[in-house]
Amino acid sequence: MILVTGATGPVGRHLLTTLRGDGAEVRALSRRPETANLPHGVQVVGGELGEPASLARALTGVEAVYLFSAGRAAGGFAASAVRAGVKRVVVVSGLDDDPADVERPFTDAGLEWTHLRPNAYASNALRHWGDMIRYQGAVRVPYPDAATAPVHEADLAAVAAIVLRGGHAGRRYSLTGPRSLTFREQVGVLARALGRELALVEETPDQARERMSRYGMPGSVVDELLTMWAATAGTPATVSPVVEQLTGLPARSFARWADEHADDFR
C-alpha cells in the first residue's frame, strides 16, 4: 500500500493516476475526504499532517509514503510512520522548507528516504498569475529577468512513482524542466499559448511583497521568493537531467504545460 499526501493538488492527482495505472494499491490522505473527488480505486482517508493522532488509520498497512511539503510536521509524521511500520518515504520539499530539517526526522528514525526538490513548478504560473492574466491581461513581477527551470507536475509525479518502488534510498534529486526561462520568457510562452498579448509590469520588491501578502502568502515564503528572484535575475537556472535519467523520457517543456493549461487562464 502506498499513501499519497497532497493528493488533491496537481502533482498528487497525476501521481495517483500513474500509480493506479501501474496496478499499485493506493490510499490518499485528505483534510476533506468527502470532497476530494479522486480517481476511481483510490482509498481516501481523512487526516492532517500536523496532527499525528489523526494519521493512525491512514498509515495502517502502508509500506511507502509520498510526503508533499510537510514542513514543521515532518518530525511528527516520521514518528507516526515508524509506529505504523512504514518502510519508505519519498519527501518533496516546499520552498520554505530547509531540506536538512525535513530530511533529518526520517534519517534519525531509520526509515528509507528519498528527497525530491523541484527548482520551480510550471503550475506556479497559474497559481501566481492566473487571476492577473484572466482579469487584467497582464503579469506583475518584481524581477522579470529572474530565471527558473519549471518542472511539469506530470514529470514530478512520474519520478515520484519510480522512486516509491524503492532502490533510491538516501538519494537527493533536484528536479527541473528542460530549459531555463526568465519570467519575461514565461509570459511570452503563455501569450503564444493563449493567442493574445500579455503585458509584463515590473513591480518594486515592496509592491510585490504587499501583493503576495494580501493574498495570504506567509511572510517567510515571500521573503524567500524575493531573495531567490533577486539572486537569479540575469543568471540562467541550472537544468537537471534527473527526469530523463529516471523516466527515460525528455522532461516536458513549459510550452507544453502552457498549451495544456491555456483554458485555465481564460
Return the domain boundaries, the chain: 2-118, 124-150+178-237+253-265
Measured between its terminal Cα atoms, the distance across the chain in Å is 39
Burial of 172 (0-12, 13-18, 19+ CB in 10 A): middle
The hierarchical CATH code for the domain 124-150+178-237+253-265 is 3.90.25.10
pLDDT at residue number 138: 94
pLDDT at residue number 14: 92
Confidence class of residue 63 from pLDDT cuts 50, 70 and 90? very high
Superfamily of domain 2-118: NAD(P)-binding Rossmann-like Domain (3.40.50.720)
Taking the CA atoms of residue 57, residue 62, residue 67 and residue 71 in that order, the dihedral angle to the nearest 10 degrees is 50
pLDDT at residue number 235: 92
Convert the pLDDT of each residue in 89-104 to its tens digit.
999 876 545 666 677 7
The mean pLDDT of 212-232, rounded to a whole number, is 85
**What's the CA angle centered on 45, arms 31 and 68, to 5 degrees?**
60
Confidence class of residue 201 from pLDDT cuts 50, 70 and 90? very high
- Residue 85: CB atoms within 10 A of its CB come to 11
The mean pLDDT of 105-119, rounded to a whole number, is 85
* Calpha distance 220→179 (Å, rounded): 28
